[in-house]
Amino acid sequence: MSIPVIVFFNNKGGVGKTSLVYHIAWMFSDLNLRVLAADLDPQSNLSAAFLDEGRLEELWPENEHISTIYGAIRPLQRGIGDISHPSLEKLGDRLALVPGDMALSAFEDDLSQVWPKCLDRDERAFRVMSAFWRILQRGAKDRQAHVVLIDLGPNLGAINRAALIASDYVVVPLGPDLFSLQGLHNLGPTLRTWRQGWFERLTKSPGKGLDLPEGKMEPIGYIVMQHSVRRDRPVKSYEKWINRIPQTYREFVLNSAEKESPRVTDDPNCFALMKHYRSLMPMGQESRKPVFHLKPADGALGAHMNAVQDAYRDFEILAKKIANKTGLNLP
């Protein structure tokens, strides 16, 4: 049985997606789930959040990057073999990372070229298209992980198509703005096209004992990130965008014909309205900790400690909702 894979994705950037994956990974770990986080964004921001610059320099030497996601696909890309076993960075007793790599962008052309070749029952094409999934499943089984979390860049290119094919569930981070709503217009139809395209290709599988992902990529909900708050409510300039999200999500992502939709605060598709934790975020980045692990020694004094406790509660509630929606049993 495969380990469930959750992708956090929106083709609109700047919505706090990487920070969300980082914090959910740590919170799942706090809740006693064993987690494998995977950085499949060539910009490698998730790796930079988890690892200091010295370790990143070791992972990205001037020669072969054998200890990153790119290193794991390199033999297949070069035509000298299949994927190699992934190198994992242990971050805690229950958390590990498949490090990202800016060199991964070189894999984009290969993934574009093999997509149509799958329809010709080309075995290598299926190996390339399933490479991410097979690497992550191997790594997750090594760590006896309960779940894999993937961070992606904000685009609709071939790397993200292969990463989404590797996923079971999709969580959509959003900002309360016009650009995020426009992103949903693109995201929903693209997910359906890719899902249907992969299902069609699975019927052409050459077999030969090759394990392939199901490509479910099921949208399970959205999270509105970094909205400003005044008197416990989003500021008025954002309200019109927030209130348009439920209908837009239903229409374009869920392909629902329902004309009436609830307000975002009552929408079952909305996991949370997450606050911007302002000065806690740079503290967390400096300490290489999630904001809810900050201590007075990290600079979280006075009112900051109240905010740390609020952040822990908010992320705990969010993580439990995601676990419930994806069938993860919290130990």
Kindly state whether residue 85 falls inside one of the protein's structural domains. Answer: yes
Residue 243 burial class via C-beta count within 10 angstroms: exposed 0-12, middle 13-18, buried 19 and up: middle
Kindly state whether residue 84 falls inside one of the protein's structural domains. Answer: yes
Report the pLDDT value the prediction gives residue 237, as an integer from 0 to 100. Answer: 66
Dig out the tokens for 199 from the structure: 């299902």
Nearest to 181 by CA among 96, 238, 98: 238
At CA 277, angle to CA 173 and CA 38, rounded to 5? Answer: 45
Report the pLDDT value the prediction gives residue 69, as an integer from 0 to 100. Answer: 97
**Taking all residues of the chain, what is their mean pLDDT, rounded to a whole number?**
92
Least confident stretch, 154-158, 212-216, 267-271, 282-286: 282-286
Q: Which letter, b or e, does each residue of 251-286 get, where b requires 16 or more Cβ atoms within 10 Å of its Cβ?
A: bbbeeeeeeebeebeebebbbbbbbebeebeebbee
**pTM to 2 decimal places:** 0.94
Report the pLDDT value the prediction gives residue 168, as an integer from 0 to 100. Answer: 98
Q: What is the mean pLDDT of residues 132-147?
A: 97
Kindly state whether residue 331 falls inside one of the protein's structural domains. Answer: no
Kindly state whether residue 36 falls inside one of the protein's structural domains. Answer: yes
Q: What is the mean pLDDT of residues 233-245?
A: 76
> Which 8-state DSSP code applies to residue 208?
T
Residue 77 has pLDDT above 80, yes or no: yes
Whole-number percent of the chain with pLDDT over 70:
96
Report the pLDDT value the prediction gives residue 233, as an integer from 0 to 100. Answer: 56
Task: Measure the CA–CA gap between 161 and 195, rounded to whole angstroms.
Answer: 9
Report the pLDDT value the prediction gives residue 250, as an integer from 0 to 100. Answer: 95
Q: What is the mean pLDDT of residues 300-321?
A: 91
Count of the separate structural domains present in the chain: 1
CATH number for the domain harbouring residue 145: 3.40.50.300
Kindly state whether residue 47 falls inside one of the protein's structural domains. Answer: yes
Cα diameter, the chain? 64
| Residue 165 belongs to domain spanning | 5-326
Contacts of 297 (CB under 8 A, 6+ apart): none
Q: Over the stretch 36-53, which tens digit does the pLDDT of each residue have?
A: 999 999 999 999 999 999
pLDDT tier at 232, thresholds 50, 70, 90: low
Residue 231 has pLDDT above 60, yes or no: no
Residue 271 has pLDDT above 90, yes or no: yes
Kindly state whether residue 61 falls inside one of the protein's structural domains. Answer: yes
